[in-house]
């Protein structure tokens, strides 16, 4: 799961959008962005913990 490609931004199409459509699409974009960021941070933490374990040190992260 950590290595899955992030979902890109919402396709807005070429037609004018209403305020409610824009808000809904903005929320979807924010959810995708946050999901991607959390996944990448989790992957970074995984490798930091792994590397620290291989070196015999600790990263201070709770498990």
Interval 41-62: pLDDT, tens:
999 999 999 999 999 887 656 5
Pair of tokens at residue 11: 């396709």
Pair of tokens at residue 34: 């946050």
Beta carbons of 1 and 36 less than 8 angstroms apart:
no
- Of 4, 17, 8, nearest to 43 by C-alpha is 4
The percentage of the chain sitting over the pLDDT mark of 90, rounded to a whole number, equals 79
Which residue, chain included where needed, has tokens 């199409």?
A: 13
pTM (predicted TM-score): 0.69
């Amino acid at each position: 799961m950590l290595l899955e490609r992030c979902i890109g931004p919402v396709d807005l199409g070429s037609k004018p959008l209403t305020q409610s459509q824009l808000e809904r699409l903005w929320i979807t974009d924010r959810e995708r962005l946050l999901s991607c960021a959390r996944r990448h941070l989790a992957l970074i933490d995984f490798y930091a913990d792994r590397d620290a374990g291989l070196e015999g040190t600790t990263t201070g992260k709770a498990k």
